[in-house]
Each structure stands twice: as C-alpha cells, then as structure tokens.
Chains A and B, each alone.
Chain A
Amino acid sequence: MADVLVCKDGEIAEGGVRVIQAGEVEIGVIRHDGKYYAYRNHCPHQGGPVCEGIRMPGVLDIIGEGGIFLQQDFDQKDIHIVCPWHSYEFHLEDGVNVCDKRIRLQKFKVVEKDGAVYINV
C-alpha cells in the first residue's frame, strides 16, 4: 500500500476530475463541493471510464397524500457519478450503484495533508 500524490490542494478545479495511472490501475479523483473522492475508473457494466462523465443529483418522484404524483425533483444531497457510456449511476459518497447495491465502484481512501491530496492505493 502506498500513498500516491494526486495534486496540491486546489489544483483540481471544483467539479473537476483528474485521472491518474497508478501502475495497472486507472483512478479517477473527483473534486466535488470542496471534497475529494477517488474511485477506480472502471465501470462494472461494460468497463467504461466511469469517472469521466458528469455528476448529477439523484432524481426523485414527489408523491403527495393519497399516492398522488406531484412532480419530480433533484435530490441535491445525493450526488451521482454518471458513467458516460450508458449512464449507470453510482452514489458519489460510497460508489454504490443506485439500482443494485451489489454493484459498486472500487473506492480508494483520500488523505489530505500538508496542503496536498493523496490516495492510498
């Protein structure tokens, strides 16, 4: 296990992604809302570059009293990583697929110290 230097803090712009090659493994480091997340850049579906897509909030159906459909809304508390190949979605927080909990992205620990960002590979 090694700490791999990703960048100086702030080098990845807010909302940006840096894809790093750590040996055989490609890892996407995502900066979102000031926090860093690191996942293997490999989608469990057909192997797409899952970190290279967009992030979007989850979508909710809002149901009112009596089961009445009211509208849809974005759930800003639940940001999804969206794979650019076919749009499989994963929770940004833990990399778990939004449709099937058994499918998940490989997550790497991010360490911020001395003004730099590292991941533990």
Chain B
Amino acid sequence: MPMDTVDFRDLAVEEFDTTTMLKHATEQAIQRRYEDFFIADIDGHHYETGSFAQICEYIEDPVMRQQAKYQGFGGSGIASSNGAYQELMGRVTRYPGRRKEKTPTTPHRDITLTKRWMDAIGIDYVCMFPTPMLSLGLTPRPEVEVALSRAYNRWLCEVVLQNEPRIGSSLYLPINDPEASYQMVKDFGGKKGVIGFTICSPHYKATYDNAYCKTYALIEEMGLPLVYHGAFAWGGDQSMSLCNRFLAVHALGFSWFNILHCTNWLCNGMPERFPKLKTIWVESGLAWVPFLMQRLDNEWMMRSSEVPLLKRKPSDYMREMYYSTQPMEMVHNREALELTFKMMNAETQLLYASDYPHWDMDLPSTIYDLPFLSETGKRNILGGNAKRVFNLEPIVSEVKQKRLAARGTA
C-alpha cells in the first residue's frame, strides 16, 4: 500500500484562538461566497464582565460606583441565584478559552475579539448585546439597574461604538424605572452606533403600562426599533424554580418571557397605538411564533370585545413584527420549519442572528443552506431586512473586500 505523508497540527490545550476555532466557519463563508452580499448579525454578544472595572468608572453615583467596584458583577458559583451552570462544564471550549485569548493593547479587547469572530464567520455588521446584564432587570434594587445600565451604555458608546463602525447596539432600557428609561432614550438616541433600544425580557413590569408610553412614542419618532431580548430567570421566578435542569430553564425561559410580553403588547393594542414603532423579538427561536399566532387568533374570535383596539387578527399584527432567527429549532422537521417561515413572512420579517459566542450560536449557513428559500429571501434574512429595519449603511468587511479583490470583482 502506498504511504502518504501529510500536514498536521497538534492541539495545544493551553492556547485558544477564535480564528482557529472558527476555521470551518470561514471555509463555509468562502464556499458560499458571502462576500457577494451584506451579512448583519442582529444579536451578537460580548462579556461585559471582562470590562467591568472600566464600566464601573462610568457609574455616576459615587457611592454606587464604590459598591460596584467592591462587590463586582454577577456571581457565578453553583449556588448562585441564577443557577449558573450554563457553560456545560467546559464542553464548549470558547467559554474557558476566551480568557486565555491574546489580543493587542489597541483597539479595545472587546472590539478585537468581536471582529475576530465576525470575520471568521463572514459577518459585516453586528448589533452587540451584553451577556449577564440581560438579567439585570431582576435585580431587587431598581436604582442599581439604572446606574449600571447608564454606565454600561455610556461606556459602550464611548469605548466601542464610537471607534468601530462595524459594531452597533440596541441600548438597554432600565425597565423597572419608566422615567429613567425615557431619559435613556433622550440621552442616547442619535449617538453613533445606537440603532435601537432594548427591553430585556426577564423582569416583572407590565410593559403596556401608561408610564412607558412616552418612551415608546419617542423611540417611534426617532424611527428606531424596540427590541425585546429574551433571557431566563431561574431562582427568583416561582414557575421556573420548579425546573432542576438548565436545559428546561433555557428552553422555556428564553421563549416564555417574549411570549408573555408579545401577548400583552397585542392585547393592549400597542401596534395600533404606536403604528410606526417596529418591534423585534430576539433570541426566542421561531417555534413559539406559530403557537402564539394560532392561540391568540382562536381566542380573539371569541373575546375580541376585550381588545377592541385590535382591528385585525393578532397574527396579522405578528406578521408585521420582526424576529431574530436564533436559536433556530431545525433539528428534525424541515416541514415544520418551512411552515413557520411562511406563517411569519420570514423573507421580509426575519433577521439573522448568531448569538455568538454563546453555546447555541447559529452560523449564516443555517439560513443560507435552507432549500426552501429563494436567493433573495436568503439575502434579505442574512442582512437586507436588518438594513431596512435598523436603517443601516451596508458595510463590506475588510476580509470580504480582499476576497472580492482576489476574484477581480471589487
């Protein structure tokens, strides 16, 4: 038998490099020629805990600043109130690996790391969200939520968004304080890279409350979207605390809080009261959408008297809302997925999201490889819809520009 010699590399456990870990994603990007179109990721994350010392300096109240510095952020031990074993005991290697990854002193580490995974995957533009702060609405002191979210938003605008045109953000609203939420929109709307405002869904405020109306009106007037970003609550939530496995908490929680707010949004006629306000439901997957459409339509036919503001079926309004793709439930039933896409008018309403670097991230190929989508539909979902909804300037990443130049099509 002939014997070949080959190229090889041995894996070094002590090193971690995003570009290497995502080499196969880069191969997908090259094979599928992602350089031919704009890809926007409307839900990518960073770990703000890595920059918490800097963020603390942006807390306006000096006593709160000192408290934050002393206490730190979060608490990730096994007995912490949020359960905290999301990281799968090291099975997803980028969780422990990211701490070891080397970056130059400039630009800011979060910019370098974010652009590294964007380039590897083939993403031109990302709407960046924090990670543990998604649960900040559950903190018992509303003033902590206000102080930390203002500090984070100021830090994000000055340190990241100001310096990197490929990164934008839909800024956190401190939902437990309606007045502070309004002030946030007034103070930050119009700043560079601010492309929307976000309600992180796990919290216990009814977002149809009149106290929020002026905030919605202002966001609508600015032409920005309102994002509801899913997440989970565990320890503090009576229903969820019946779950003893994170799989259950995650599968239910990330969809549940958006199902709850979307239902209330419809039952209070908010789409009629703020007809130009674009709402985007992020990180709840897609399977909940047909469920809620069917459920609400059925009940509305019998009880429309309770919701007289709704002039059309709840599902008609839902088909005008926007949804992010991830985490796309696509494991076994292509038919169900196709029907879901049809029911939500995916080709115009669905926005690609990676959720990178989280454990259930989706690559653009999850959309690009779907056989039932037209080429235009794929490109809309991967970037065209986001460009329209967020009023984005399409950017071609440096990596893609090089690929185009190499093909002679730049």
Could you write out 29 A-B pairs with CB less than 8 Å apart? Answer: A2-B1, A2-B2, A2-B3, A2-B4, A4-B3, A4-B4, A4-B6, A5-B4, A5-B5, A5-B6, A7-B8, A18-B10, A18-B11, A20-B6, A20-B8, A21-B7, A21-B8, A42-B24, A47-B25, A47-B363, A47-B365, A48-B24, A52-B21, A84-B92, A86-B92, A86-B359, A87-B92, A87-B359, A121-B4
- The yes or no answer to A98 lying at the interface (CB within 8 A) is no
Bound Cα distance A54, B90 (Å): 8
Q: How far is the CB of B111 from chain A (nearest CB, A)?
A: 23
* CB–CB B10/A16 < 8 A: yes
- The yes or no answer to A53 lying at the interface (CB within 8 A) is yes
Bound Cα distance A84, B6 (Å): 24
- The yes or no answer to A92 lying at the interface (CB within 8 A) is no
Bound Cα distance A85, B24 (Å): 11
On chain A, the residues within 8 Å of B361 by CB distance are 85-86
On chain B, the residues within 8 Å of A47 by CB distance are 24-25, 27-28, 363, 365
Interface set, chain A 50-83, CB cutoff 8 A to B: 52-54, 56, 82
Task: For A87, give the chain B residue with the smallest CB separation.
Answer: B91
- The yes or no answer to B362 lying at the interface (CB within 8 A) is yes
With A47-B365, A84-B92 as given contacts, are A52 and B8 in contact (CB-CB < 8 Å)?
no
* CB–CB B23/A49 < 8 A: yes
B interface residues with partner A (beta carbon < 8 Å): 1-11, 21, 23-25, 27-28, 88-94, 359-363, 365-366
On chain B, the residues within 8 Å of A121 by CB distance are 4
Bound Cα distance A121, B3 (Å): 10
Q: How far is the CB of A40 from chain B (nearest CB, A)?
A: 11
Bound Cα distance A17, B91 (Å): 16
Which residue of A2, A42, A52 has the most chain B CB atoms within 10 A of its CB atom?
A52
Q: Is the interface of B mostly helix, strand, loop or mixed?
A: mixed
Bound Cα distance A85, B5 (Å): 29
* CB–CB A22/B11 < 8 A: no
On chain A, the residues within 8 Å of B93 by CB distance are 52-54, 84
What is the number of residues of chain A that contact chain B, defined by CB distance less than 8 Å?
A: 32
- Extra 15 A-B pairs, beta carbons < 8 Å, given A5-B6, A16-B11, A52-B21: A2-B2, A2-B3, A5-B3, A5-B5, A6-B6, A18-B10, A18-B11, A19-B8, A47-B28, A49-B21, A52-B93, A84-B21, A86-B361, A87-B88, A87-B91
Q: How far is the CB of B90 from chain A (nearest CB, A)?
A: 6
On chain B, the residues within 8 Å of A56 by CB distance are 89, 91
Bound Cα distance A54, B93 (Å): 8
With A54-B91, A87-B359 as given contacts, are A19 and B4 in contact (CB-CB < 8 Å)?
no
- The yes or no answer to A3 lying at the interface (CB within 8 A) is yes
Q: How far is the CB of A87 from chain B (nearest CB, A)?
A: 4
Bound Cα distance A49, B7 (Å): 16
Bound Cα distance A12, B366 (Å): 35
Q: How far is the CB of B92 from chain A (nearest CB, A)?
A: 5
* CB–CB B8/A84 < 8 A: no
5 tightest Cβ-Cβ pairs between the two chains A and B: A84-B93, A20-B8, A21-B7, A87-B91, A82-B91
Task: For B25, give the chain A residue with the smallest CB separation.
Answer: A47
On chain A, the residues within 8 Å of B2 by CB distance are 2-3
- The yes or no answer to A39 lying at the interface (CB within 8 A) is no
Bound Cα distance A21, B7 (Å): 5
* CB–CB A19/B3 < 8 A: no
On chain A, the residues within 8 Å of B8 by CB distance are 6-7, 18-21
* CB–CB B6/A49 < 8 A: no
Which residue of B1, B24, B359 has the most chain A CB atoms within 10 A of its CB atom?
B24
Bound Cα distance A4, B365 (Å): 32
Bound Cα distance A12, B3 (Å): 19
* CB–CB A46/B365 < 8 A: yes
With A56-B89, A86-B360, A87-B91 as given contacts, are A17 and B11 in contact (CB-CB < 8 Å)?
yes
Task: For B366, give the chain A residue with the smallest CB separation.
Answer: A46
Q: How far is the CB of A60 from chain B (nearest CB, A)?
A: 14
* CB–CB A21/B6 < 8 A: yes
